[in-house]
A and B are shown apart, each in its own frame.
Chain A
Amino acid sequence: MTDWTDPTQVTRASALEMADAMRAGTVTSVELVQAHLDRIAAVDGPVHAFLYVNAEEALATAAAVDADRATGAALPLLAGVPIAIKDVLVTKGMPTTAGSRILEGWLPPYDATVTAKVRAARMPILGKTNMDEFAMGSSTEHSGYGPTHNPWDLERIPGGSGGGSSASLAAWETPLAIGSDTGGSIRQPAAVTGTVGVKPTYGGVSRYGAIALASSLDQLGPCARTVADTAALHEVMGGHDVMDATSLDEPVPSCLEAARDGAANGLAGVRIGVVKELGGEGYQDGVKQRFEEGLDHLRALGAEIVEVSCPSFKYALAAYYLILPSEASSNLAKFDSVRFGLRVERDTIEKTMGATRAEGFGDEVKRRIILGTYALSAGYYDAYYGSAQKVRTLIQRDFAAAFEQADVLVSPTAPTTPFKIGERIDDPLAMYLNDVATIPANLAGIPGMSLPAGVAPEDGLPVGFQILAPAHEDARLYRIGAALEKALVAQWGGPLASLAPELEVAP
């Protein structure tokens, strides 16, 4: 049992445990927030998960929640539980950079819909987490503000683009975080840090106020250390929004109920499809081993394991790297020095725009803008963007056929455990390959989860287990994820993150 007077133990509790403890009166929100702020101060120097720490406002929110709770007022489930927000979401009054120097110092005049929902849920916002610039990357090395380090091994990447959010969870700096997933930016960081991350169905969470990378692929989602915590946060974030024309006009899935059901009742009658194309060659041995072990657990829980084939997935990476840069090249045009952000003054507006973008954007961003601009150009459109959209349709058909045979599909989240910082910095293709298993879900708009599968025996680093469900069936992820998590945690004797080496604490 958690000793709520011990700040270290406090930061190692789950979000739902924190919420329960506050309701029971054993801890206050101010104590929770303070414990996490202290932890950030102690370890974030070497980890560098945060770009901005919002201490004052977080404590004020916490104090207000505590005061309301004292009066017996009804409060939302996660009221008072601290949260970190990826710097891709605009937050009124807090700097928002999307990891780019071009937005350094910009204070958004408005809140993203999800930011507003977090505030309405009375959750103290600890700060903004680091990310690859404009979410372009799988390592957080491409942040304009320096890389984030993986708490499991500070020389390794925490995944990307949401490496700040995943590292902050693994480093016990926050119990909850928000991420965005365009090709795996929630799931792959979760995999390589031993945490949980969910990409909801496209349209399930409003994108309004999320700085766009690729509009047809981007989706915001919850990150935590347990499946149930991600479920609870998913319910806070989800729902229709009139400000986002692509948001789904349907009720938020009952994620928490599904997670509890899965943990309590096992998986009898559930058919689970292993995607043949997402495994085998190119996948690290320890990753394959942990994945197989996960399948054994699922079988033991009563699920039937079948193999499915998705032959078009071999084109997914290529299609993705045409669609994403194309949309990004247009989405990033607005960073032109005229209304906000960096301005490098020259004698004409064209030169000022050019100089600002040359100085403000990093190499990976420029690489993708150039790719996308080329792919959309007259004469190339049909061959590139047009063909990529056709591949997208094929991938959707593959998924539709696979979901005829299985309730959910599973695969390793990433082919390898985290690579070393700097190892692939000059080899973008090698970095892109890390997303090979996560990208198909974005191309099809379906929901996906990554949860810890254990550590690879050869390097002792975390491995992620990916679950994919049909569109609108996000609840299935939580049911199956929670059942598997329960079995694994029983095997490990605690959450995977607790097996990570202790970080050195700054004096």
Chain B
Amino acid sequence: MTAATHLVGYDDAMKAFDPVFGIEVHVELNTKTKMFCGCENTFGNEPNTQVCPVCLGLPGSMPVTNEKAVESAIRLGLALGCSIRESSRFARKNYFYPDLAKDYQISQYDEPTSYEGELEVVLDDGTVVMIGIERAHMEEDAGKNTHVGGTGGIQGASHSLVDYNRGGVPLVEIVTKPIEGMGERTAEVARAYVATIRDIVRALGISDGRMEQGRLRADVNLSLRPKAADGEDQSAVPFGKRSETKNINSLRAVERSIHYEAGRQAALLLAGQPVVQETRHWHEDTSSTTPGRSKEEAEEYRYFPEPDLLPVEPSREWIEELRATLPEHPAKMRARLREEWGFSDLEMRDAVAADALTLIADTVAAGAAPQAARKWWMGELARTANEQDVTLPELPVTPAHIAELQRLVDEGKINDKLARQALEGVLAGEGSPAEVVASRGLEVVSDDSALEAAVDDALASQPEVLDKIREGKVQAAGAIVGAVMKATRGQADAGRVREIILARAGVEG
């Protein structure tokens, strides 16, 4: 900790040293049930309500592998360009911890399902980086400890509570090979890599990838080594001691933790002090890390093949069937869609960030213009989702609804304001946009005689408006438009109302 107060800036650290990093990403799969039992795999329930003898590790209970989780894991492996093992085994990783019901985790050790892959990662400026994937293996999640009293950490707590709802939730852990040669782009590459994994699991539909809820978590390993002398081969220089920053739960934090760790390690090395090989905790509030377990206290997990489970042996035919279901690489799909839709970079990035790409694509496929589709999903619906604290896909509205709504606008049957009311009805479960328009009587009034009568009514109470218009203050017509819209509960065709007012004043529109 002595050097922690003398951090070296990231850029300086990267000038002085050659960084090597590796990332472990844990993805919680969205299968209906847990990895080895029939308990529901959902989030946010009362503690210890989604448990059974198996995921509580009660004496006598035994695991049974969730086939759907295996399928998801294989599809993910394929999407990462991995080879799929014809026979892979689960293994027990033994360690005592209260949140680990059996005091061993069922994982995969020397025979992971997926191994040796390569993933294309596209940086913001279009640079393409290939990331080597070491393995992607299946395992079960642990429960969750809550430390009561004190500051929430285990130190100073009076006691701890364990919630096993998450225990046994299926996970895939993706491990990269050491990534070298990224220099000052290390943090950016790390972030882009995790973002790509997130996009892939979403595109596969196997996880919602929500980092803020821990559905996707990253552990970042980083080490620094001296720069090779001119003409020397950098890859011949041995790796430095690494730290592993655990459980990073946002893309921003992936980037910032690397900034911090690079600075911390560089400061130590420049001061002639050793970097300790250890796990570290990330603190969002201070953008810094603190030491966790020391890795030098040799981790002894006593792995051995899980005798309660048979090996996973996917047939070649099945693997090929699953390969055929793989979605397009997210970066490639985005580039193609941006081109097709004519979105700006910013519009595209926002849509991706809001998980709206598929929704927009489906809305376009249902007949809406891309910009109109974007406007609905990123505007009104994004606001609604935000208010209700749900994701866009969770809203009770379909791309087909939005395409229909836009069609009604395009056909002049409703205006924007009425369209928003119609959407409100759809979200309230009143039916399709057309049904809501009919049942709420939202159709635009464009019948001239009705509009003329309404305009004349409004003018009768504000006769001075006509004079103002004649004097050139055309914007004064707005007051009458507003009054007419109010009188018709928004159903008047505002453009036509304006024309009528100007005609009354004897002015050209």
Do chains A and B stick together as partners?
Answer: yes
List A residues at the B interface (Cβ < 8 Å).
Answer: 89-90, 96, 98, 103, 106, 108-110, 112, 207-212, 214-216, 242-246, 326-327, 329-330, 333-336, 338-340, 349-350, 353, 373, 376-378, 381, 385
Whether B60 contacts A212 by the Cβ 8 Å rule is: yes
Question: Contact: B308 with A245, CB < 8 Å?
Answer: yes
Asked if B307 is at the interface of the complex by the 8 Å CB criterion, the answer is: yes
Contact B56 A245 (CB under 8 A): no
Residue among B64, B102, B309 making CB contact with A243, cutoff 8 Å: B64
Check A336 against B103 for contact (C-beta < 8 Å): yes
Whether B267 is near chain A, meaning CB under 8 Å from some CB there, is: no
Residue with the greatest number of chain A CB neighbours at <10 A, chosen from B101, B302, B308? B302
**CB of A340 to closest CB in B, whole Å:** 7
Flag whether B58 is at the interface (Cβ < 8 A). yes
Is B65 an interface position by the 8 A CB rule? Answer: yes
| Choice from B62, B64, B94, B162 contacting A330 with Cβ under 8 Å | B94
Bitwise interface map of B from 154 to 179 toward A, beta carbon under 8 Å scored 1, else 0: 00000010100000000000000000
**Bound-state Cα–Cα, A246 to B60, Å:** 14
What are 24 contact pairs spanning A and B, CB under 8 A? Answer: A89-B60, A106-B59, A207-B62, A211-B60, A214-B307, A216-B307, A243-B64, A244-B64, A245-B308, A245-B310, A246-B310, A330-B92, A330-B94, A333-B94, A335-B59, A336-B96, A336-B103, A339-B56, A339-B57, A353-B96, A373-B302, A376-B94, A378-B300, A385-B304
A89 to B162, CA, bound (A): 27
B96 near A330 with CB under 8 A, answer: no
Interface residues of B (CB under 8 A from A): 53, 56-65, 92, 94, 96, 98, 101-104, 160, 162, 298, 300, 302-304, 307-310
Given contacts A96-B59, A330-B104, contact A215 B308 (CB under 8 A): yes
Does A209 contact B61, Cβ atoms closer than 8 Å?
yes
- Collect the chain B residues with CB atoms within 8 Å of residue A211's CB: 59-60
Distance from A126 Cβ to chain B, minimum over Cβ atoms (Å)? 20
Roughly how many angstroms separate A207 CA and B64 CA in the complex, as a whole number? 12
Q: Which residues from B are CB-within-8-Å of A215?
A: 307-308
Closest residue of chain B to A98, judged by CB?
Answer: B59
**Which residues on the A side are within 8 Å of B58 (C-beta)?**
90, 108-110, 339-340
Name which of B58, B102, B104, B162 has the most chain A CB atoms within 10 A of its CB: B58
Q: What residues of B have a CB within 8 angstroms of the CB of A329 in the complex?
A: 94, 302
| A330, B302: Cβ atoms closer than 8 Å | yes
The answer to whether A334 touches B94 (Cβ under 8 A) is: no
B262 to chain A: closest CB distance in Å?
Answer: 31
Tell me the interface secondary structure of chain B in the complex: loop
**Minimum distance in angstroms from A461 CB to a CB of chain B:** 34
Q: How far is the CA of A98 from the CA of B307 in the complex (A)?
A: 20
Chain B residue nearest in CB terms to A91: B60
In the A-B complex, the 10 residue pairs with the closest CB atoms: A333-B103, A215-B307, A376-B302, A216-B307, A209-B60, A90-B60, A211-B59, A334-B57, A338-B98, A334-B102
Q: Please determine whether B62 and A350 come into contact, CB atoms closer than 8 angstroms.
A: no
Give the Cβ gap from B485 to chain A, nearest Cβ, in Å: 64
Contacts of A246 in B (CB 8 A): 307-310
Q: How far is the CB of A106 from chain B (nearest CB, A)?
A: 8
Give A106 to B56 CA distance when docked, in angstroms.
15
- Say how far B184's CB is from chain A's closest CB, in angstroms: 38
Q: B60 is contacted by which of A210, A242, A335 (Cβ under 8 Å)?
A: A210
**Do B64 and A245 have beta carbons less than 8 Å apart?**
yes
Residues of chain A within 8 A (CB-CB) of B302 are 329-330, 373, 376-378, 381
Decide if A90 touches B59 in the complex (CB within 8 Å): yes
Contact (Cβ within 8 A) B307 A333: no
- Check A333 against B62 for contact (C-beta < 8 Å): no
Nearest A-chain residue to B306, judged by Cβ = A215
Q: Which residues on the A side are within 8 Å of B53 (C-beta)?
A: 109-110
- B93 to chain A: closest CB distance in Å? 10
Asked whether A245 and B96 contact (CB < 8 A) given A377-B302, A381-B304, the answer is no
Q: A246-B307, A333-B103 are in contact. List 10 more A-B contacts (CB 8 A).
A: A106-B59, A109-B58, A110-B53, A326-B304, A329-B94, A330-B94, A335-B59, A376-B302, A376-B303, A381-B304
From B98, B104, B162, B308, contact of A333 by CB (8 A): B104
Q: How far is the CA of A106 from the CA of B96 in the complex (A)?
A: 21
A109 to B307, CA, bound (A): 24
Given contacts A110-B53, A245-B64, contact A334 B304 (CB under 8 A): no
When the two chains form their complex, are residues B94 and A242 in contact, meaning their CB atoms are under 8 A apart? no
Question: Is A242 within 8 A of B103, CB to CB?
Answer: no
